[in-house]
Amino acid sequence: MKNIVILISGRGSNMEAIVRACAAEKWPARVAAVLSNRPDASGLQFASRHGIATGVVDHKQFSGRESFDAAMRDAIDAYQPDLIVLAGFMRILTPGFVEHYAGRMLNIHPSLLPSFPGLHTHKQALEAGVKLHGATVHFVTPELDHGPIVLQAALDVLPGDTPESLADRLLDSEHVIYPRAVRWFVEDRLHVQDGVVQVVQPAEPQWFMAISPQAAGKQP
């Protein structure tokens, strides 16, 4: 039975999807704790209601990144985690923190990496005029929004899309791919070689397409 610790900063809808899938699909894992850097993160309430331990390490109480990361690391390690899941955790992590969890920390980023790392990804995608946008689950490495790619979801950009409409549609796909990727991890099915991740026993597609009905009828 693997221990998962999930870090959130806000509403925690991806965390919720993972908690629900873990229970419904009877993964060989349990969500041991949900921790936040913000006391008002609404996702903490969902976790408490589901009997999951919660904790807050408020970044505002620390003078710098190093001391915050050290306190967060202590809070996480109290649960003896096999996997750390960043789910809307809005903090830049120090290299020491990332190294401590090397190979056992996942993140979801709302773009088709390596395009559009950083913030405001949906706005960036619209301004670049891309026709496909998406989300990426990846292992966390010291470089922000990089790291071996586990699974990607793509969706078509529609005429009239705004950053908000893209974010809304993409969230449904995030809730499909993030639980899937975490499940592969806890089932020991992710092999990483030279920065490339493969799913084994059995191999499975590492992408998910959420194409709108309008576009589906017009494929060349």
The neighbour count for residue 209, using CB atoms within 10 Å, is 14
Residue 203, φ and ψ in degrees, nearest 5:
-65, 145
Which of 12, 134, 147, 179 contacts ligand GRF by CB under 6 A? 12
Which of 2, 3, 11, 100 contacts ligand GRF by CB under 6 A? 11
* Cβ closest to ligand GRF, residue 162 vs residue 201: 162
If one asks whether residue 18 binds ligand GRF (CB under 6 A), the answer comes out as no
Which of 83, 174, 186, 206 contacts ligand GRF by CB under 6 A? 174
Which of 21, 35, 81, 88 contacts ligand GRF by CB under 6 A? 88
Q: In angstroms, give the least distance from the CB of 206 to ligand GRF.
A: 17
* Structure token digits, residue 64: 């710098």
Task: Write each residue from 108 to 127 as x if it is in contact with ligand GRF (CB under 6 A), else as -, in one continuous string.
Answer: xxx-----------------
Is 107 labeled as ligand-binding? yes
Strands 190-193 and 196-199: antiparallel
Is 48 labeled as ligand-binding? no
Long-range contacts at 130-136 (CB < 8 A, ≥ 24 apart): 130/157, 131/156, 131/157, 132/156, 132/157, 133/157, 133/166, 133/170, 134/170, 134/173, 135/108, 135/109, 135/110, 135/111, 135/170, 135/173, 135/174, 135/177, 136/108, 136/109, 136/111, 136/112
If one asks whether residue 189 binds ligand GRF (CB under 6 A), the answer comes out as no
109 flagged as catalytic = yes
Summarize as ranges the residues that interact with ligand GRF (CB under 6 A): 8, 10-14, 87-88, 108-110, 135, 171, 174
